[in-house]
Structure 1
Amino acid sequence: KLTNYFAMSSLSTPTVETSQANTIEASDSTQTVGALSSNIQPTADAFDTDDDHSGQHESTAEQAETEQKHETGSKFNDFKEHSDLENWPITVDNDFIQNYLMQDIGFFQNKKPDDVYTESSRVYKEQNRCFSNKYFEKRLKNGQTVMISWLVYSKSKGCIYCFVCKLFSKCQTSLTTGGFSDWMYVLRTLENHEDSVEHKSAMLCWITRKSNKNTVDQQLEEQMRKTVQYYFEVLKRVVAVIKFLSERGLAFRGHEEKWGSPNNGNFMGAIELIAEFDPFLHEHLEKCKNEKVNATYLSKPVYEELIKIMGKHVQDEIVNQINNLDTKYYSIIVDCTPDLTHVDQLTQEKPEYKRIAKNLNHKLVKLEYAILTVVWEEVLERFNKISKKLQTPGCDVFEGYLLLSSLLSFVKELRENSADRIAHYESEAKGLCEDITSSYSDASKRIVTRKLSDGTSGIASLKGADKFRIEVLYQLYDCLIIQLRKQIDPYEQIAKRFKFLSDLVNNSEIDEDSIKLIISYYKNDIDRQIVNECYQFKEYMDLRKSQNTEENTPSKMQCADVLQLIC
């Protein structure tokens, strides 16, 4: 993707393992270092030597402290310019190595001019031994004295390291991990380490990289930088062409996408025109024609993605300018060019939405749809009134049962009289809108009469108003009746059980069947004496009514008051 490609930082370099880098660079510069053995194989991973026997004197506490320094990423900045190898992380990366390639030998060795290394003092058989400057030198067989350039001293721990193996070798020895401090065997240890294949491979990498002053990562980075710069110049010209065509409202594509064709469109034509006077773009265009490049960045997906990015940037800029305005009111002037079909280009109407709208309009103008609108208006109006009455404060369960029962009777009446009311529904539906069709949608269909197996004619299939009444209205009313019965059943059971309470309030005759029903239902709580209690309470209510009549006070009691008085 174009965006992901250019979002990648030019400073990021691919990770190259140390052993692989050593192998590549060592093989390219074997002739440069003639002093080393020609049989050296620069693969430090091929050897797995144990530590020298002198490393047995190292304490486990120091090893635990060394293992805690394995986090290279978080501690790299602290030891970037530190010459004490004790503070180096165990695992070093390529950036860490590149930082120390710029330093000379004296930066690492920490050599003291006074030859006093008190922190390196060790006691062996009641004899005090310590490090000395003489260990930095080596006498050859011809009597010549040379400096051991790879040996460094750690002032914080008082031990010695091989910094070359620390950087380029994966061999785990005391000179690379914990530090060497067994001064009784120091000469033999240094000699054995210098003759090891791992050390020679590390020295070869050190000398090679110091002489070249360049790495494989740097070469890859330079190649990446040149590639990015190359395609940046290509895209700069592509963006200029996009801006030119967009400002003038010109089309980008033509009848074919072929370089050199007069019908390849404005975009490819503009690129070819610029290439005649631009050597860089001319060379790139020739590579594209000869298919010498994998990514041309001149194709349709590239400039379409650039158009989206540039359009989003322009939109965000317009929104920011509007948000920064001090006034709350502003005006926008929009200009457009009509095409051959005389359709305003600012109207963004998708064909799918247009098709859906046409289908919906075709259904709305049908006579059946209009009749259903009239029927539902009649039904829902009654339902709405009953619903509001049921939600009125003070409406008891008996009144609710009567309201729902009346609603059920209303729906049943509509179903029974639907054959007579269908003509009324049709006239009401046709008056809703002028576009409503005057006949049913199946009016033009042929009536099919099925023949039975014995040769007689069966019942003819329904059509028009009869079909709509039976297949639509009857199903509608039946569904409403079923749902209303489910709602009425709980109210009906409660009303039958507690009907005697309503009789007491309404001054009507007491329904003993209702009392017997509640006795049978609550047989563990109510006995038959409740019948006499109800008659006694009835006399009390009559007496209370007569007193209230004389005093001109209301005598009506709610069911809740009756229950409270009984209890």
Structure 2
Amino acid sequence: MSLDKYFKRKSLEDEESIKASSQVTQSSSKKSHIEINPDTLLADPGLRRPIYEYHINDRDAIRRAYLQKGPCQPSHYDFPQKQFGNISTLRRFNPAWFGAYPTWLEYSIAKDAAFCLYCYLFKSKEGVDSFVGDGFSNWKKRERFDLHIGKSNSSHNAARIKCENLMNEKQSIMSLLSEQTVKSQSDYRTRLNASIECARFLLHQGLPFRGHDECECSSNQGNYLELLHFLSRNNEAIKRVTFSEALKHNKLTSPDIQKTLLKLLQRRLQM
């Protein structure tokens, strides 16, 4: 096979590899980050499934959708009265509380109880907090709302921060790390494909891999490295991920890597 045909085929394979990698990444992303329409979610907090019952890969999508939807606050509902104490005092939920706690306070018509949206979204399981689970309905103790919020290190505020971070996920450190991981995997695949093609070509031609002097200052680093350099100079996708652009211990250029590639290809030919 001529070099022109070889490198033309190599260029096409690189494009197909990158396209396939992108499709795999998109498919994986869909599995772990499903799209949810907020309008289809059950609004009443007393009737919702606990967040921990959803698949772990779907929870952030569910959380994000609920945050986009906002807390369930039926302001114009005719809240029922409830008797407290021995003196037959009747009390009911005051819709003015929605204005005091606009971002997290919710009301369940089904249970006539108040809930916390933040804590629903980020409490792993129902605990002793009355604003999660069965809800809070002691309307004569309005101070319990502030007690629920608590100090800066309270579980409510921890849940609030997690909600804020989730909605700003693209700017979060975790998101950047995740994107970097996907890029690293794609770069490694391109680098590995280039290394395999170099090894396959040399094996097919019966040429030695190693050079007498493979240091960076050498005028001839050997067939394997020189061919990889040639590929990187003539293929932008390979150039971006090889040699100085690769991590120090992940260049796929060491003598051990060359031997490993040779052995694997020889084994494949014998099968």
- Tell me which interval the TM-score lies in, with the shorter structure as reference length: 0.5 to 0.7
Q: How much has 1:97 moved relative to structure 2?
A: 4.0
Conservation of the 8 A alpha-carbon contact between 2:51 and 2:121: no
Structure 1 residues 148 and 220, CA gap change in structure 2 (3 angstroms): same
Conservation of the 8 A alpha-carbon contact between 1:151 and 1:161: yes
Q: How much has 1:222 moved relative to structure 2?
A: 0.1
Q: How much has 1:164 moved relative to structure 2?
A: 1.4
CA distance in 2, matches of 1:259, 1:274: 17
Conservation of the 8 A alpha-carbon contact between 1:84 and 1:108: no
> In the alignment, which residue of structure 1 is the partner of 2:3?
none
Q: TM-score if structure 1 supplies the norm length?
A: 0.34
Matching of residues 145-544 of structure 1 within 5 Å: 148-168=102-122, 173-185=129-141, 187-194=142-149, 196-197=151-152, 198=154, 199-211=156-168, 214-259=171-216, 261=218, 264-278=221-235, 281=238, 287=244, 293-310=248-265
CA distance in 1, matches of 2:44, 2:259: 57
Q: Any idea what SS the aligned residue of 1:109 has?
A: coil
Q: How much has 1:150 moved relative to structure 2?
A: 0.6
CA distance in 1, matches of 2:211, 2:109: 75
CA RMSD of aligned residues (A): 4.1
CA distance in 1, matches of 2:235, 2:265: 24
Which whole-Å deviations, capped at 9, do the CAs of 1:432-490 have from their partners, x for residues lacking one? xxxxxxxxxxxxxxxxxxxxxxxxxxxxxxxxxxxxxxxxxxxxxxxxxxxxxxxxxxx
Structure 1 residues 243 and 82, CA gap change in structure 2 (3 angstroms): farther
Q: Any idea what SS the aligned residue of 1:184 has?
A: coil
Query: Pick from 113, 131, 137: which aligns with 2:99?
Result: 137
The amino acid that maps onto 1:242 is A
Which whole-Å deviations, capped at 9, do the CAs of 1:520-545 have from their partners, x for residues lacking one? xxxxxxxxxxxxxxxxxxxxxxxxxx
The amino acid that maps onto 1:109 is C
Q: How much has 1:282 moved relative to structure 2?
A: 5.0
> In the alignment, which residue of structure 2 is the partner of 1:434?
none
> In the alignment, which residue of structure 2 is the partner of 1:493?
none
Q: How much has 1:224 moved relative to structure 2?
A: 0.5
CA distance in 1, matches of 2:148, 2:181: 40
The amino acid that maps onto 1:174 is S
Q: How much has 1:157 moved relative to structure 2?
A: 3.7
The amino acid that maps onto 1:111 is P
Conservation of the 8 A alpha-carbon contact between 1:110 and 1:155: no
Query: Quick check: 1:101 aligned with 2:101?
Result: no
- The structure, 1 or 2, with the larger RCO (C-alpha pairs under 8 Å, 6+ apart) is 2
Which whole-Å deviations, capped at 9, do the CAs of 1:304-356 have from their partners, x for residues lacking one? 4444555566666xxxxxxxxxxxxxxxxxxxxxxxxxxxxxxxxxxxxxxxx
Of stretches 298-307 and 166-175 in structure 1, the one that deviates more from structure 2 is 166-175
The amino acid that maps onto 1:181 is S
Conservation of the 8 A alpha-carbon contact between 1:115 and 1:133: no
The amino acid that maps onto 2:116 is C
Which whole-Å deviations, capped at 9, do the CAs of 1:205-235 have from their partners, x for residues lacking one? 4345435655433221101111112222212
Q: How much has 1:165 moved relative to structure 2?
A: 3.2
The amino acid that maps onto 2:199 is I
CA distance in 2, matches of 1:213, 1:262: 46
The amino acid that maps onto 2:182 is R
CA distance in 2, matches of 1:282, 1:111: 59
The amino acid that maps onto 2:50 is W
Structure 1 residues 207 and 269, CA gap change in structure 2 (3 angstroms): closer
Q: Any idea what SS the aligned residue of 1:245 has?
A: helix
Conservation of the 8 A alpha-carbon contact between 2:63 and 2:121: no
CA distance in 1, matches of 2:233, 2:94: 74
Q: How much has 1:103 moved relative to structure 2?
A: 3.5
Q: Any idea what SS the aligned residue of 2:63 has?
A: helix
Q: Any idea what SS the aligned residue of 2:234 has?
A: coil
Q: How much has 1:179 moved relative to structure 2?
A: 2.0
Conservation of the 8 A alpha-carbon contact between 2:202 and 2:208: yes
Q: Percent identity?
A: 21
Gaps of 5+ in 1: 1-5, 13-79, 139-146, 317-567
Q: TM-score if structure 2 supplies the norm length?
A: 0.63
Structure 1 residues 265 and 160, CA gap change in structure 2 (3 angstroms): same
Q: How much has 1:104 moved relative to structure 2?
A: 4.2
The amino acid that maps onto 2:64 is L
Q: How many aligned residue pairs are there?
A: 229
The amino acid that maps onto 2:143 is R
Structure 1 residues 293 and 246, CA gap change in structure 2 (3 angstroms): same
CA distance in 1, matches of 2:254, 2:167: 45
Which whole-Å deviations, capped at 9, do the CAs of 1:63-111 have from their partners, x for residues lacking one? xxxxxxxxxxxxxxxxx94445453146997862453124446554152
Structure 1 residues 174 and 213, CA gap change in structure 2 (3 angstroms): farther
Q: Any idea what SS the aligned residue of 1:219 has?
A: helix
| Higher Cα Rg, which structure | 1
Q: Any idea what SS the aligned residue of 2:143 has?
A: helix
Which whole-Å deviations, capped at 9, do the CAs of 1:343-393 have from their partners, x for residues lacking one? xxxxxxxxxxxxxxxxxxxxxxxxxxxxxxxxxxxxxxxxxxxxxxxxxxx
